[in-house]
Amino acid sequence: MGRHRQPEIRERLVDACTDHALEHGLPDRLGPFATATGASSRMLIYHFGTRDELIRAVLERARQRQVEAFTALLRVRPEEPYPVTLRRAWSAMSGPQGRPYLRIFSRLHDTAGEPHWPGFRRMATTDWLAPLEDGMRSLGRPELATVVLAVIRGLLMDLDATGDAERTDRAFGDFLATIEGA
């Protein structure tokens, strides 16, 4: 009779693998994950079935963390104007807090990432729409949430591709000035 899988061990492993992937990117082999967790590659396969299933679990956990963090950044704060909230959110998303997510998810934004996470591109396009609508509603312009989302996503992809933080920061500041003037 084989051992029963222990969900708490699986959770600990996926958390450690996610921490590693956010710091170093997704590895091509299981070895770096094994080292990061203190478990063997065989034990990782035991808990996840395949390398691809482990990668999927890591991506899901990282996405859960990103959505929680970025949604908190985008939520309306009664004590400040929403453009100030957006400026702070942009700084976090494009800065050291957000860069690990850019690194880990950049491959999923093109069709090459579909085998790891079918439907990721669609979900990643709309998951922050609700907090942005709430925020833009505070300015009387909820219909601009899609535009704000498109600008944020586009500038993050630009930043990921070019590394030009100064230019993308300036572009986001120009965009915010446009919103404030509208």
> What's 55's domain CATH number?
1.10.357.10
Structural domain range at position 141: 7-181
- CA dist 6 and 15 (Å) reads 15
When pLDDT is averaged across residues 37-61 and rounded to a whole number, the result is 93
Q: Is the pLDDT of residue 23 over 90?
A: yes
* Mean pLDDT along residues 31-43: 94
Residue scoring higher pLDDT (81 or 124): 81
pTM: 0.83
Is there a domain that residue 1 lies in?
no
Number of domains in the chain: 1
Residue 174 lies in a domain: yes
Amino acid of residue 104: I
Does any domain span residue 2? Answer: no
Give domain status of residue 173, yes or no.
yes
C-beta of residue 149 within 8 angstroms of C-beta of residue 133: no
